[in-house]
Structure 1
Amino acid sequence: MHKSAALASTPLFHTNSTFLSSHDRVALSYDRTRAIGALHALSAQDILTVSPKYWEYLRDPIHVMDGAAATLLTIHLNLCIGTIAMFPEGKEQLLKRLLAFELSGQYCLTEVGHGLDAYHLETTATLLPTGELEINTPNEAAAKYMPPTTPAGLPGIAVVFARLLVNGQDRGVKPVLVPLHDGRKMHPGVISKLLSPRGGSGPVDHALTYFRHVRVPGSSLLGSLEKGADPKGTFAHNIFRVVVGTLGMGTVALSMMRIASYIATKYSMRRIVVDSFTGKPKPIMAFSTQKTPVLTAIAQTLVMDAYCTKVHQLWSTGGSSLQQHFVAAVWKATIVPHSLSILSSLGDRCGAQGLFEVNQISMMHADVRGASIAEGDTLGISIRFAIELILGKVTPAPYLNPGSLLSRHEQQWLSELRSIVKGSKTHRSNAIESSILPRCQELLQAVGHRIAVDAAVELGVDPAVVDLYVASVVKQDSAWYSENLGLTQEKQRRMERDAVDALYPKLESLLEKLAIADYVNAPIVSDEAWVSHVRELPVFQSGKAAVEDSVQSRL
């Protein structure tokens, strides 16, 4: 059981926010943010080192109950506090206030005109003769994009990445602490423009942020005034918390998979239809079109759960920051497509009910789309680290079974792409770009699928679960397995059917292994929850007609 189970059952997390105003929903998310932070009581050292305590926090499913709160926590703890903790000298009191949630911490890296090309950002931090730094946004393209910098009750401060200018010399991109507001009024020279809401997600007060010649003390600079011998390397070091965020996005996606699998299973077991063949009532779960995607989702979730345990081990023993980033990139490139597929598929399998916010799946789908982009765009990091892997600069986890289907798939993919690069004068040519880049994410997924199965086998996951997982990923590259291993489509379909048949009798025990019921508030999981939900809905009626006290429904 997760330590947040009791908190998840409180009114704070079971308030139906769908009828609240956007302003009130944002306020509720901030309250939930502080409650989750207080529960885990992380230290700066926990955050800095990705300690077991911090890993437990990342894996907490309570984040999924409010995607907006999860976003706020990620920015506050990982990005803001995590970056300051890398340069702690003289910042101890500030860290203490941030950890106590007396301040709201933000992180301003990405600019609207530069996106992933953050190294070429244009915001400047100019050293003045007084020793102060002047932070300035030179044009519209340099506006900081996304961080929620509008006043929201608590005083706000941000880690702002800016190009340090000393006597006209560009010293590289550096992090600087800049006050944003006192909780009600913006700091002089700081302008925040509230963006329109993201579609389908819980509302966060995302904004565009501009700095108009904002002066801060020289001590606000995190790090040295000197230009690093390797400016790009220094920049990569300074934004390393984004890499840790890549890990966190994957753990959130895993929690979404667990919750969606539970909801769809419970709904499918209680939703009854009349079987046209027998004329008798039958749960929709009994049909292959329902049990196959639901059981596949559960199998992928349980295997990814084992992989998640392996990821922390690989991260902790990774050694170099490049290897750690590779571990995080493979993890995210593997789990995000699984979660997107599961949330889309299971949402469809819940019919019209799957479209409504209150049933959680549609909102989680929107949230995982955001997670796919945040803290390292999935495609972007896949391209970078597939190239690093092809060039031999990073190393995947050792093979547990080199002769397995997924191991052979990974080995041949890597061998084929390496031969393409070897036959070219440079891996940056146009020919390489068109041959390699479109396949980078698939390469990292092939690596991740194999590591996930190895981890599941090592941790003793039910072999039938592993078999269904393997069958599900074989389908993703069906032609390769048919052409290279003689695994025809009929054999592939039989693999899936056999695994589903083996798992279906274990459905109840599989639900228990998800260990997620405390975090589910979707009313479609039971008749009792549905009746309670209907009773709370706004009522429109004529005259004084009584509303029935109970609603018997299988909807």
Structure 2
Amino acid sequence: MNIGDVLKPTPALWILHIDPILLRDGVATTLLTIQYNLFLGTLAKFIRQTEDLSQLTEDLLTFKTLGQFCLTELGRGLDIYNMRTTATRLDSGDFDLHTPTQQDANLAALSICQLQLYSYIVARYSQRRHVASPYSGEPVPIISFPTQKLPLMYVIANSYFFNAFYQKVVNLFMDKTLDPRLRRGVTTCVKAVLMMHSQNANIALSDRYGAQGLFEYNQMSTLFNKVRGIAIAGDILGFIADLLTMKYEIPPQTDPSSLLAKHELHFFKKASIKSHRMTQWKPS
């Protein structure tokens, strides 16, 4: 990985974000993504203009230097576009961080591979665990039962679908002709959908893992908590609010005549009307 991969960014950076190794340590993954995406992603734009950043960049790429910084606000979470904290450079070279109100105070600061890991763990367990067949009395693996197999196949299919979906969204995000708000909105949309499916998959497969599904060493419960932590971030709520108030629109459906596209159109129309009524309502 080099600074060019971050600046463009190249497929190397996108592949990094769906590498299953990230599931081994959620904290390390958070630090990695902040370092590469936020810090180096910002710094990379100024490399050619400022030569003295070259050594710093190399140190950041190899984690000899950490670029973590305060990113969230109590009143806005991860809603970066509406944050009110300002940083003013002083003559001394230091920075004055200013938070207008208490709600502006800062707090220090993946799902495709999780679907893959869920299905792998439960598939291996289902192959190893045997029970007596109700027909022959002989031991058979529980994966031979439809109630065990079908939910597993559903999660595996989802992992393939979302991998393709991820590639599609990367292309949209890389399209600099699009409104930056739209590009941010598309990625947030994917995050929301992935979080929902990942949590549902975890519960569905954990129920078929027996009591072992609750043990920490099997990772199912810890992965579920990691997903919940990612999903709690306020960027999803901000995205929904922007859509309902029609600040911008996400790209149109590739097939407007499909049932899914019609359902989406009806859903947003209904939600937008309800949102408008709520904003017009005043207590008596």
TM range (shorter): 0.7 to 0.9
- Counterpart of 1:396, as a letter, is P
Match of 1:98 in 2: 60
Per-residue CA deviations over 1:513-538 (Å, capped at 9, x if unaligned) read: xxxxxxxxxxxxxxxxxxxxxxxxxx
> Which of 165, 172, 178 is matched with 1:314 structurally?
172
Pair 1:65-2:27 in alignment:
no
CA contact (8 A) 1:322 1:394 kept: no
Give the gaps of 5 or more residues in structure 2.
none
Look at both structures and tell me which one has the larger radius of gyration over its CA atoms: 1
CA contact (8 A) 1:79 1:107 kept: no
Per-residue CA deviations over 1:256-304 (Å, capped at 9, x if unaligned) read: 0011111111211221112446533232223333223212111211211
Shift of 1:328: 0.7
- Counterpart of 1:92, as a letter, is S
Pair 1:115-2:74 in alignment:
no
Match of 2:232 in 1: 373
Pair 1:135-2:96 in alignment:
yes
The separation in 1 between residues aligned to 2:193 and 2:280, in whole angstroms, is 27
Decide whether aligned partners of structure 1 residues 325 and 111 sit closer, same or farther in structure 2, where only a CA change above 3 A counts.
closer
- Counterpart of 2:265, as a letter, is Q
Shift of 1:52: 1.9
The separation in 1 between residues aligned to 2:209 and 2:221, in whole angstroms, is 11
The separation in 1 between residues aligned to 2:265 and 2:176, in whole angstroms, is 21
The separation in 1 between residues aligned to 2:65 and 2:231, in whole angstroms, is 28
> Which of 131, 140, 147 is matched with 1:289 structurally?
147
Match of 1:273 in 2: 131
CA contact (8 A) 2:73 2:83 kept: no
Shift of 1:364: 1.4
CA contact (8 A) 2:253 2:261 kept: no
Shift of 1:431: 4.9
Decide whether aligned partners of structure 1 residues 353 and 42 sit closer, same or farther in structure 2, where only a CA change above 3 A counts.
farther
RMSD: 3.0
Shift of 1:305: 1.6
Query: Matched residue of 1:135: which SS?
Result: strand
Match of 2:43 in 1: 84
User: Could you tell which deviates more after superposition, 318-327 or 350-359?
Assistant: 318-327
Decide whether aligned partners of structure 1 residues 42 and 359 sit closer, same or farther in structure 2, where only a CA change above 3 A counts.
farther
Query: Matched residue of 1:282: which SS?
Result: strand
Match of 1:412 in 2: 266
Pair 1:328-2:182 in alignment:
no
Query: Matched residue of 2:161: which SS?
Result: helix
CA contact (8 A) 1:42 1:53 kept: no
CA contact (8 A) 1:42 1:54 kept: no
Identity of aligned residues (%): 36
CA contact (8 A) 2:6 2:37 kept: yes
- Counterpart of 2:147, as a letter, is T
Decide whether aligned partners of structure 1 residues 106 and 408 sit closer, same or farther in structure 2, where only a CA change above 3 A counts.
same
Shift of 1:342: 0.7
Match of 1:351 in 2: 210
Give the gaps of 5 or more residues in structure 1.
1-40, 148-251, 433-555
Match of 1:259 in 2: 117
Decide whether aligned partners of structure 1 residues 347 and 42 sit closer, same or farther in structure 2, where only a CA change above 3 A counts.
farther
TM-score w.r.t. length of structure 1: 0.45
CA contact (8 A) 2:79 2:238 kept: no
The separation in 2 between residues aligned to 1:42 and 1:324, in whole angstroms, is 24
Decide whether aligned partners of structure 1 residues 99 and 428 sit closer, same or farther in structure 2, where only a CA change above 3 A counts.
farther
The separation in 1 between residues aligned to 2:65 and 2:40, in whole angstroms, is 11
**Equivalenced residues, count:** 276
Match of 1:243 in 2: none
The separation in 2 between residues aligned to 1:105 and 1:126, in whole angstroms, is 18
- Counterpart of 1:52, as a letter, is P
The separation in 2 between residues aligned to 1:121 and 1:358, in whole angstroms, is 42
Query: Matched residue of 1:50: which SS?
Result: coil
